[in-house]
Amino acid sequence: MSPFGIGALVHNEGINGSLDACGSQFPTSWAQAATWQPELIRRAQDVTGTHLYSTGRPDRRLSADAEPAR
């Protein structure tokens, strides 16, 4: 806790996968888009989602590509 009473933001980055010791990394979203294979991108995001869910932190995924309305 900081002197101002603001707690730390604990998150797991999810831009190119899960950035923890056991997470998988994937190409950037620009590189994924260049493949023109949406199913491949879905599979990569499924891997990321499954990993984050298994860590007990599925709500902590922050991504520039995330759709907040979902």
Per-residue DSSP letter, 53: H
Q: How far apart are CA 55 and CA 41, in angstroms?
A: 21
Position with higher pLDDT, 60 vs 69 = 60
Domain that holds residue 37: 26-56
pLDDT digits (tens, 9 = 90+) for 2-55: 788 877 766 656 677 777 777 788 888 889 999 999 999 999 888 888 887 887
**Domain count along the chain:** 1
Is position 1 within any domain? no
Is position 42 within any domain? yes
Is position 4 within any domain? no
pLDDT of residue 35: 93
pTM of the model: 0.59
Q: Which two tokens stand for residue 9?
A: 């933001």
pLDDT of residue 54: 81
Sequence-separated contacts (24+) of 50-58 with Cβ below 8 Å: 51/17, 51/18, 51/22, 51/23, 51/24, 52/12, 52/14, 52/18, 55/12, 55/18, 55/20, 57/12
Is position 40 within any domain? yes
pLDDT of residue 69: 47
